[in-house]
Chains A and B, each alone.
Chain A
Amino acid sequence: MRTFKNTARAVMVAAALVGGSAAMAKEITIAVVPKVAVPFFDDVNNGAAAEAKTLGVNYQWVVPANTQGATQVKIIEDLMARHVDGIAISVNEPKSVEGIIKQAMKVGIKVLTFDSDSANSGRSMYIGTINKQAGVTMGNSMAKALGGKGEVAIVTGQLGASNLNERIDGVKEALKAYPGIKIVATEGTEDDLAKAVSVTEALLRGHPQLAGIFGISQVGGPAVAKVLAEQEFAADKGKLKVFAFDDLPDTIKGVKDGFIDGIMVQRPITMGKLAVENLVAQIKGTETAPKDIDTGVTVVNADNLGSYTK
């Protein structure tokens, strides 16, 4: 009897051990870290959480309290201490997280960046909008709307912002193929709506022939829509082709009202989904040579306003 009992106990313990270790091998925990709490990242969270559920992995959404580089460093340290298997992060300060990402990779945690990169951190890959490519899409959309000829102007945000300058590079590259289109002005607005409105007004007065405006930063769309709604510029509505970035409420309204022809909308939900998918593949070892992914932009216009996906 006793022997039997002991044997049974041993078998049960062994079974529990085997079962436990099997479960532990399967249990994957990943964390996704945004820059800060804004609606853009809510979309990322939705996309990531849904994908994590599909793949059956544990998922954590860790929001930094502020945009300081040190805060994200601390978050990664905490995640390393909790032995997560993978981290996807949108970086606030590319330089400050380089060291800690290298450390995490060294102890076997898979790290990738999304939306905002830290190129020298040794992260496995970057998933997000490649701004130059988005600019090319924007330039081509404008060229098509103008039939390949006319004077255009660029309204950007902060003159030093690298993501905006990459978009402008893309626009210029696309327009090279259309010698009939001439960029007559590039104006900064410091991302201030009031400044953007007065700059746009002056642009339209100073260039009566203007046929198109690129709103490179997120204030461009709302600003041009406000200006075209004014009595003075009523004649330009529909005639002036306008392309903008980011689907803020006022920009969407500009499309509805017929002031804006197209918006370049980034794809945060796709970013979240791909971040989780690629992290899990790397942890399982099915993805060994990850490459950067451009999630691209959706061109939103009056036709797909109600139906576009991010």
Chain B
Amino acid sequence: MAISGEEVARSEMRRIGILRNLLQLRHIREVNVLVALLIMGAIISAFTPYFLTVDNLMGVSRAFSLTAIMSIGMVMVIITGGIDLSVGSAMGLAGLVTALCFDAGYSQSICVAAGICVGLMFGLANGLLITVIGLPPFIATLGTLSIGRGFMYMITHGVPVTPKTPDSFSMLGQGYIGPVPVPVVILLVLTVVFSLIMVRTRFGRHIYATGGNEHAARLSGVKTNRVKLAVYVLSSTISSLAGVIAFSRYLSAEPASGFGSELDVIAAAAIGGASLAGGIGSVTGAVIGAALVGEISNGIVLLNINTYAQQAITGGVILIAVSLDVLRNRLKGGNV
């Protein structure tokens, strides 16, 4: 039964050709954002010698790696047609719980596990609210965002938690493998793993199918609720990993850690070509999107652009980059 249901699903998708179109679109999109990233890099290095140095490029990569890691989970949620506003809270609370465990004297592995468990709980709460109770993802994750944020203020009273930690733990956020910072290595590994999952596995195809046309997907045997629960759990868990890495990097769990980062993460996914309507997007696109934003904010400081104009410039550059991307896609679509 399961096999025949799966085959029906596949033939259904093949028939409406969602998957093929998606894959084509995805590749074009990624290339466009990558081109924007390179052009922006060329522009910045034309004006400052300090951009194109190993130290700076590695520093920038480390700075945007957390947003990029979170965007991997987010893009999967967005492809199912959902949204996860709670990623910043999951990140912040995970870092805080890890810090509190260190403070209480637990061993390193327990502290990290406790942080990751925070993500699992966020994901289960989001997923169950959305699939069982039927709340819209925006509302469900807005609620858990707020609850998480509230917990952080209740626990910290606004003061950072800074426990003593072993040196081996700080490797996670501060260490290097060769010239590459560890968080960037983690980002690369996650990008490869989740790209393969999205493109090569049945689960990946089900994620696209759920967002492309949930009704059709369900009729063709895709257990859409199970897919949704899974992507919310993945998104929160990945965010909690980012939170543990952030704590390891700064060794200080800030009460406002992760505050507002959901917007950066959603923006990265959208810049990388994900459609907020669902069905379209890619992991590599989201990661490159995060890189583009990180590159712009680094360039703005290096070029000594007036701080009060920075946000407006960042917004403008993002709009130009994404508009060019959309226009080019439209042209290409016309040609094919």
- Selected contact of B160 from candidates A185, A190, A206, A248, CB within 8 Å: A248
Q: Please tell me if A186 contacts chain B, counting CB pairs below 8 Å.
A: yes
- Selected contact of B307 from candidates A159, A194, A206, A232, CB within 8 Å: A159
Q: Is the CB of B297 within 8 A of A198?
A: yes
Q: Is the CB of B157 within 8 A of A192?
A: no
Q: Please tell me if B168 contacts chain A, counting CB pairs below 8 Å.
A: no
A-facing mask of B274-298, CB < 8 A → 1, else 0? 0000000000000000000000011
Q: A39-B157, A232-B59 are in contact. Are A184 and B254 (CB under 8 A)?
A: no
Q: Please tell me if A260 contacts chain B, counting CB pairs below 8 Å.
A: no
Among residues of B, the one whose C-beta sits closest to the C-beta of A191 is: B256
Q: Is the CB of B160 within 8 A of A249?
A: yes
Q: Is the CB of A205 within 8 A of B59?
A: yes
A-facing mask of B17-55, CB < 8 A → 1, else 0? 000000000000000000000000000000010100101
Report B248-270 residues with CB < 8 Å from chain A CB: 249-250, 252, 254, 256-257, 259-260
Q: Is the CB of A201 within 8 A of B59?
A: yes
Q: Please tell me if A78 contacts chain B, counting CB pairs below 8 Å.
A: no
Q: Is the CB of A159 within 8 A of B159?
A: no
Q: Please tell me if B68 contacts chain A, counting CB pairs below 8 Å.
A: no
Q: Please tell me if B162 contacts chain A, counting CB pairs below 8 Å.
A: yes
Q: Determine the chain B residues whose CB is within 8 A of the CB of A193 once the complex forms.
A: 160, 250, 252, 254, 257
Q: Determine the chain A residues whose CB is within 8 A of the CB of B250 once the complex forms.
A: 193-194, 197, 222, 226
Among residues of A, the one whose C-beta sits closest to the C-beta of B308 is: A159
Q: Is the CB of A198 within 8 A of B59?
A: yes
Q: Is the CB of B159 within 8 A of A205?
A: no
Q: Please tell me if B145 contacts chain A, counting CB pairs below 8 Å.
A: no
Q: Determine the chain B residues whose CB is within 8 A of the CB of A175 once the complex forms.
A: none
Q: Determine the chain A residues whose CB is within 8 A of the CB of B256 once the complex forms.
A: 191-192
Q: Please tell me if B301 contacts chain A, counting CB pairs below 8 Å.
A: yes
Q: Determine the chain B residues whose CB is within 8 A of the CB of A226 once the complex forms.
A: 250
Q: Is the CB of A222 within 8 A of B252?
A: yes
Q: Please tell me if B136 contacts chain A, counting CB pairs below 8 Å.
A: no
Q: Please tell me if B310 contacts chain A, counting CB pairs below 8 Å.
A: yes
Report A176-216 residues with CB < 8 Å from chain B CB: 184-188, 190-194, 197-199, 201-203, 205-206, 208
Q: Is the CB of A199 within 8 A of B301?
A: yes
Q: Please tell me if A250 contacts chain B, counting CB pairs below 8 Å.
A: yes
Among residues of A, the one whose C-beta sits closest to the C-beta of B303 is: A206
Q: In whole angstroms, how far apart are the Cα atoms of A6 and B56 in the complex?
A: 96
Q: In whole angstroms, how far apart are the Cα atoms of A232 and B53 in the complex?
A: 12
Q: Is the CB of B157 within 8 A of A38?
A: yes
- Selected contact of B301 from candidates A185, A194, A253, CB within 8 Å: A185
Q: Please tell me if A281 contacts chain B, counting CB pairs below 8 Å.
A: no
Q: Determine the chain B residues whose CB is within 8 A of the CB of A184 once the complex forms.
A: 304
The tally of residues in A whose CB lies under 8 Å from a CB in B reads 33
Q: Is the CB of A206 within 8 A of B162?
A: no
Q: Is the CB of A188 within 8 A of B56?
A: no
Q: In whole angstroms, how far apart are the Cα atoms of A201 and B48 in the complex?
A: 15
Q: Please tell me if A37 contacts chain B, counting CB pairs below 8 Å.
A: yes
Q: In whole angstroms, how far apart are the Cα atoms of A232 and B157 in the complex?
A: 34
Q: A194-B257, A202-B302 are in contact. Are A250 and B50 (CB under 8 A)?
A: no
Q: Is the CB of B50 within 8 A of A249?
A: no
Interface hub of A188, A206, A249 (most chain B Cβ within 10 A) = A206
Report A243-264 residues with CB < 8 Å from chain B CB: 248-250, 253
Q: Please tell me if B105 contacts chain A, counting CB pairs below 8 Å.
A: no
Q: Please tell me if B66 contacts chain A, counting CB pairs below 8 Å.
A: yes
Among residues of B, the one whose C-beta sits closest to the C-beta of A218 is: B160
Q: How far is the CB of A201 from chain B (nearest CB, A)?
A: 5
- Selected contact of B157 from candidates A37, A185, A206, CB within 8 Å: A37
Among residues of B, the one whose C-beta sits closest to the C-beta of A38 is: B158
Q: Please tell me if B246 contacts chain A, counting CB pairs below 8 Å.
A: yes
Q: In whole angstroms, how far apart are the Cα atoms of A38 and B158 in the complex?
A: 6
Q: How far is the CB of B298 from chain A (nearest CB, A)?
A: 5
Q: How far is the CB of B68 from chain A (nearest CB, A)?
A: 13
Q: Is the CB of A232 within 8 A of B55?
A: yes
Report A151-187 residues with CB < 8 Å from chain B CB: 159, 184-187
Among residues of A, the one whose C-beta sits closest to the C-beta of B176 is: A231
Q: In whole angstroms, how far apart are the Cα atoms of A184 and B304 in the complex?
A: 8
Given A202-B302, A205-B53, output 15 extra A-B contacts at Cβ < 8 Å.
A37-B157, A191-B256, A192-B259, A193-B160, A193-B257, A194-B66, A194-B249, A199-B301, A202-B56, A202-B298, A205-B50, A205-B302, A222-B160, A222-B252, A248-B159
The 8 A-B residue pairs with the shortest CB-CB distance, nearest first, are A202-B301, A198-B63, A206-B302, A38-B158, A205-B50, A193-B254, A201-B59, A186-B307
Residues of chain B having any CB pair with chain A under 8 Å? 48, 50, 53, 55-56, 59-60, 63, 66, 157-160, 162, 174, 246, 249-250, 252, 254, 256-257, 259-260, 297-298, 301-304, 307-308, 310
| Subset of 22 A-B contacts with CB under 8 Å | A39-B159, A159-B307, A186-B307, A187-B301, A187-B307, A188-B308, A192-B254, A192-B256, A192-B257, A192-B259, A192-B260, A193-B252, A198-B297, A201-B63, A202-B302, A205-B59, A206-B48, A206-B50, A232-B55, A248-B160, A249-B160, A250-B162
